[in-house]
Amino acid sequence: MSSDDLGVVAALHDPVRRAVYEYVISQGRDVGRNEAAEAVGVQRTLAAFHLDKLVEAGLLESGFKRLGEKTGPGSGRPAKVYRRAPGEWQVSVPARDYRTLALVLAEAVDLLGGEDRAEEAARRAGGRIAERVAPDESLEETLRQRGYEPYAQEGRLRLRNCPFHVLAEAQPLLVCSMNLSLCRGLLEGLGQDPERARLDPRPGECCVSLSINNEN
């Protein structure tokens, strides 16, 4: 665990700052100071303070953009906007390095040609996740708890975050197929149509999406 990781934990300790961060990352687009302030119910100056602290911590990145439809002379200065920063942080005490082993295992599966077995194992893992889901818990909440950051769009439940991002960058075909199998195993374990899940890659998002109305 590095000092940068500890800094991230400290940056999110404040409840208002955490609310600001969660709002920005949930939008999947640039967010201005006024919008963030209104969303979490604080003054603009306080929202700006927390947004800039999140940039300092490396959790957000900032830029400038004209907000609204008016352009050209008289449209005013570009506003400061914020978005999720690339990268990820892990905190454990004592320090652990599961990432390196996971990368090694993914490479071994690829070298041995074990993709089919890996997909079968991922589907079983999805079923085991389903066994731990509370009866009143929605699919969206289950996915949220697993780090997928689901959101509804055009009849599909899209996943803003890939929980396996580092592995997916190293072994995209293997990890995306396993991710799809895991999601289908989860649906199957919940008594739902596993074909609701399909590969649907988008830049910067998870490679899987799910139909909302239990239709393919």
For residue 117, what is the enclosing H or E element? helix 115-131
Rounded to whole angstroms, the Cα distance separating 192 from 48 reads: 44
- What was the pLDDT predicted at 73? 47
Handedness of CA 207, 168, 22, 51 (dihedral sign): negative
Question: 159: closest CA among 107, 196, 131?
Answer: 196
- What was the pLDDT predicted at 76? 65
- The answer to whether 175 touches 115, Cβ cutoff 8 Å, is no
Cβ neighbours of residue 135 under 8 Å, at least 6 residues apart? Answer: none
pLDDT tens for the chain, 216 residues long, are 455 666 677 788 899 999 999 999 989 889 999 999 999 999 999 999 999 999 998 899 999 988 765 555 445 678 999 999 887 777 776 777 888 999 999 999 999 999 999 999 999 999 999 999 999 999 999 999 999 999 999 999 999 999 999 899 999 999 999 999 999 999 999 999 999 999 999 888 999 999 987 544
Claim: this prediction has a pTM higher than 0.85: no
